Amino acid sequence: MKGLGLLAKLAFICNLFFLACVVMQRSAGNAQGSMVSLIAILGLVMGMGIFNPVSNIMNGLQLLRKQPITATVPLWLAITNGVFLIFQIAYLLHTLL
């Protein structure tokens, strides 16, 4: 569980890119360029698809083992990543349905 802190930080950074991607999608009509592509990949693929779910699953496993999360991840970071996961699931359901 030593890498859980780094994983949570990577998930948080990708979550910020997810937020930027959603804001750009809602406000900008047809943004193009390599920076937009980078933001979309980091936010939608890496954040929503890989880092954030894995980070939250690892936090959940740590709770099931009755180990404190705060030993490896700050509490605010674990809560923030959990809230982002809820928003990402809602965004995915809204997009698909």
Count of the separate structural domains present in the chain: 1
> Cα separation of 14 and 76, whole Å?
16
Query: pLDDT tens digits, residue range 35-70?
Result: 888 888 999 999 999 999 999 999 999 999 999 988
Q: Tell me, what's the pLDDT at 62?
A: 92
Residue 2 has pLDDT above 80, yes or no: no
Confidence of residue 24 (pLDDT cuts 50, 70, 90): confident
> Which residue would you say has higher pLDDT here, 29 or 92?
92
Q: Tell me, what's the pLDDT at 64?
A: 95
Report helix, strand or coil for 44: helix
The helix (H) or strand (E) run that includes residue 35 is helix 34-40
**Segments forming the whole domain that contains residue 77:** 4-96
> Cα separation of 6 and 15, whole Å?
14
Residue 39 exposed, middle or buried by CB count within 10 Å (0-12, 13-18, 19+): buried
- pTM for the whole structure: 0.90
Q: Please tell me what DSSP assigns to residue 66.
A: T
Average pLDDT, the chain: 91
Q: Tell me, what's the pLDDT at 74?
A: 95
